[in-house]
């Protein structure tokens, strides 16, 4: 859906984006990750045509990105902002019409989303009277009121309580089910684990890694395995031999243990199963994938070590 080809951007001779290329497939949730100052917001602003790149191109559905495409893009910026003296309804109608909807369409969509988020009772309240969470819900609605094909969310979960985080996450998943392509820029790695199909990691304006989330996690796997078994701990330890290192153990109940192992020499799960099956009754065996947070830290640390 979106192809970013060799996009560069500088501010006062400081290179903020350095020949960044990435591809966002239609109907997927794409995580845009990176530490502060990596260039995520600049890239997002370029996608929204708030800024223009110094070099490179961006394609939207195969065509060069143009202002007319803005009507198909929804944007929730990291820095929230609403007109404090407008009512909720008036504000949403205003932003919907700004995105190209007619008044009738805007009214219909606003009514739908207010009902969907169960805030019809607040529609005639001024924005200044809303709590922070409520105001952010309004902004979230404003980003998708015109039913965009592409939704760009910059830190959509910040400022929400856990209940509303859950609500927004479910909403993101529902939008994906309906075919909306979503670019999610966030520091909340749990949400990346939970919803993102693909992810790209930016650092100092360059793409450090870009792949499917599962691939990224697998690529940074440290060979950790979780085992739950019934039996004798000593027999278990003996069965491991030198192929696996026992990192931790916990007795869940009498004779029932949970252990974490580190694979050595490239040993796989099948190898472990073969080693254990005659000695203990294996109840659960799985590879522990690193979280995206661990992948993120790992990649940044590697990069920092390279620079040194």
Partner 1 sequence: MLVLGPVVVLLLLIGLLKAADQGKQELNVLIADPGQIMSHRLMAQEEQQIHYFFIDDYLELSEFEKGKAYQEFDVLLELNEKVLNNKKCFVFFRDQLGLDARMQLKFQVERRMEELIAAQHSNLTEQAFRQIKQGFIFDFRDLQDPKNESKEANAWAGFILGAFVLFFVALYSMTIFRATVREKSNRIVEVLLASVKPSQLMLSKILGIGFIAVLQLLGWILLLGFGFWLLQETIFLDIFDPSNWGQDAPERLNPLSALVFEQLPFASLIVHFLLFFVASFLFYGALFAVLGARSSAEADGQQFLFPLLFLVSFGLFSGIYAIYFPSSTLTEILGFLPFSSPVLVLIALAKGLGIAAYTNVLLSLIILLVCAFSLLGLGAGWYRKSILKF
- Rounded to a whole number of angstroms, the minimum distance from the CB of residue 82 to partner 1 is 6
Q: What angle do CA 91, 96, 98 make, to 5 degrees?
A: 95
Q: How many residues bind partner 1 (CB under 8 A)?
A: 21
Q: Which of 49, 232, 262, 287 binds partner 1 (CB under 8 A)?
A: 49
Q: Which of 77, 156, 205, 290 binds partner 1 (CB under 8 A)?
A: 77
Strand partners, 131: none
Binding to partner 1 (CB under 8 A) within 142-161 occurs at 142
Candidates 68, 98, 219, 304: give the one binding partner 1 (CB under 8 A): 98
Neighbours of 13 (CB within 10 A): 5
Q: Is residue 81 a contact point for partner 1 (CB under 8 A)?
A: yes
Judged by CB under 8 A, does residue 48 bind partner 1?
yes
Can you list the pairs that 243-251 forms with residues at least 24 positions away whose Cβ atoms lie under 8 Å? 243/267, 243/271, 243/272, 243/275, 244/272, 244/275
DSSP bridge pairs for 210:
200
Could you give the angle at the alpha carbon of 28 between the alpha carbons of 24 and 29, nearest 5°? 90
Distance of CA 45 to the CA centre of its chain: 18
Residue from 15, 19, 51, 233 binding partner 1 (CB under 8 A): 51
Question: Contact at 8 Å (CB) between 87 and 123?
Answer: yes
Is there binding between residue 80 and partner 1 (CB under 8 A)?
yes
H/E stretch holding 300: helix 292-307
Q: Per rule CB under 8 A, is residue 84 in the interface with partner 1?
A: yes
Helices (H) and strands (E) in the chain, counts: 10, 14
- Helical (H) or strand (E) element with 11: strand 2-11
Binding mask 105-144 for partner 1 (x = CB under 8 A): ----------------------------------x--x--
DSSP 264: -
Which range of residues in 42-50, 115-123, 255-263, 287-295 is near partner 1 by CB under 8 A?
Answer: 42-50
Q: Does 95 bind partner 1 (CB under 8 A)?
A: yes
Near partner 1 by CB under 8 A, which window of 2-10, 22-30, 57-65, 78-86? 78-86
Tell me which residues touch partner 1 (CB under 8 A): 45, 48-51, 67, 70, 73, 75, 77, 79-84, 95, 98-99, 139, 142
């Amino acid at each position: 859906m979106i192809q970013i080809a060799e996009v560069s951007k500088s501010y006062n001779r400081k290179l903020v984006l350095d020949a960044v290329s990435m591809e966002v497939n239609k109907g997927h949730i794409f995580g845009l990750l990176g530490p502060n100052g990596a260039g995520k917001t600049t890239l997002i602003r370029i996608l929204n045509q708030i800024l223009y790149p110094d070099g490179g191109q961006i394609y939207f559905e195969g065509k060069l990105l143009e202002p007319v495409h803005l009507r198909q893009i929804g944007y929730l910026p990291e820095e929230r902002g609403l007109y404090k003296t407008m009512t909720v309804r008036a504000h949403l109608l205003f932003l919907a019409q700004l995105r190209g909807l007619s008044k009738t369409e805007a009214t219909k969509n606003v009514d739908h989303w207010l009902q969907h988020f169960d805030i019809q009772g607040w529609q005639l309240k001024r924005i200044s009277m809303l709590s922070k969470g409520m105001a952010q819900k309004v902004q979230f609605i404003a980003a998708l009121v015109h039913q965009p094909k592409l939704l760009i969310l910059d830190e959509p979960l910040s400022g929400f309580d856990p209940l509303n985080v859950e609500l927004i996450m479910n909403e993101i998943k529902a939008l994906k089910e309906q075919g909306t392509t979503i670019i999610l820029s966030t520091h909340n790695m749990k949400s990346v684990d939970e919803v993102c199909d693909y992810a790209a990691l930016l650092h100092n304006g360059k793409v450090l890694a870009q792949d499917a989330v599962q691939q990224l996690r697998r690529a940074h796997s440290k060979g950790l395995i979780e085992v739950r078994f019934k039996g004798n701990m000593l027999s278990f330890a003996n069965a491991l031999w030198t192929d696996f290192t026992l990192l931790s153990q916990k007795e869940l109940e009498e004779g029932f243990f949970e252990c974490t192992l580190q694979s050595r020499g490239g040993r796989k799960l099948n190898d472990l199963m073969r080693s254990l099956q005659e000695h203990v009754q294996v109840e659960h065996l799985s590879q522990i994938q690193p979280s995206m947070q661990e992948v993120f830290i790992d990649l940044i640390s590697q990069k920092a070590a390279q620079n040194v």
